[in-house]
Structure 1
Amino acid sequence: MVETVTLYRAPTTVADADALADWLRDRIDAEVRVRDRLLGAVDDTLAEEFAAARVTDPHEQSTGNTMTGIVRYEERALASPERAGGIVYDGRAVQRALNARLSEQSLDHLHVPLLDRVVGTWGDHDGRWHKRVAVLGQPTLLSVPGLYEAPAKPEAYYEAKSKHALMTGDTPPREVLEADVDGDFLVADDPRTTDALKGYLLAAVDFLDTGSAFCDDERCRLHDAHRQPGVVRAQLRDPAFCEAHGERYG
Structure 2
Amino acid sequence: MVDSVVLYRAPTTVCDVDAIADWLADRIDADVTVRDRFLAVHRTENLPERFAEARVPSPYERDTGNTMLGTIRYEERALEHPEREDGVLYDGVGIQRALNSALPAEERGLETLHVPILDRAVGTWGDHDGRWHKRVTVLGQPGLASVPGLYEAPAKPEAYYKEKQRHALLSGDAPPREVLENQVEGDFLVQDDPRTTDALRGYVLQAYHFLETGEAFCDREACRLFDAHYHEDLIDAQLREPAFCSEHARLYE
Give the match for residue 102 of structure 1. 103
Give the match for residue 83 of structure 2. 82
CA distance in 1, matches of 2:87, 2:250: 40
Give the match for residue 37 of structure 1. 37
Which 4+ stretches in 1 moved above 4 angstroms? none
RMSD, matched Cα = 0.7
1:12 partner letter: T
Give, in angstroms, the shift of residue 124 of structure 1: 1.0
Q: Does 1:6 align with 2:9?
A: no
Give the match for residue 221 of structure 1. 224
CA distance in 2, matches of 1:167, 1:86: 26
Aligned length: 250
Give the match for residue 18 of structure 2. 18
1:181 to 159, 180, 184: 184
CA-to-aligned-CA distance 1:62-104 (integer Å, 9 cap, x gap): 1000000000000000000000022100000100011011121
- 3-state SS of paired residue (1:207): helix
Give, in angstroms, the shift of residue 57 of structure 1: 1.1
Matches within 5 A, 1:73-222: 73-103=74-104, 104-222=107-225
1:56 partner letter: P
Give the match for residue 238 of structure 1. 241
- 3-state SS of paired residue (1:6): strand
* Worse-matched range after superposition: 36-45 or 77-86: 36-45
Give the match for residue 65 of structure 1. 66
CA-to-aligned-CA distance 1:127-148 (integer Å, 9 cap, x gap): 1111000000000000001100
2:113 partner letter: L
CA distance in 2, matches of 1:246, 1:53: 37
CA distance in 1, matches of 2:179, 2:93: 34
Gap regions ≥5 residues in structure 1: none
Give, in angstroms, the shift of residue 105 of structure 1: 2.0
* Percent of residue pairs bearing the same amino acid type: 67
Give, in angstroms, the shift of residue 217 of structure 1: 0.4
Give, in angstroms, the shift of residue 52 of structure 1: 0.6
1:115 partner letter: L
CA distance in 2, matches of 1:205, 1:217: 18
Q: When the two structures are superposed, what TM-score results if normalisation uses the length of structure 2?
A: 0.97
1:22 partner letter: D
CA distance in 1, matches of 2:47, 2:234: 32
* Worse-matched range after superposition: 98-107 or 151-160: 98-107
CA-to-aligned-CA distance 1:29-72 (integer Å, 9 cap, x gap): 11000000011141221001100100011111110000000000
CA distance in 1, matches of 2:37, 2:88: 19
- 3-state SS of paired residue (1:233): helix
CA-to-aligned-CA distance 1:123-178 (integer Å, 9 cap, x gap): 11111111000000000000001100101111000001111111222211111110
CA distance in 1, matches of 2:211, 2:5: 11
Q: When the two structures are superposed, what TM-score results if normalisation uses the length of structure 1?
A: 0.99
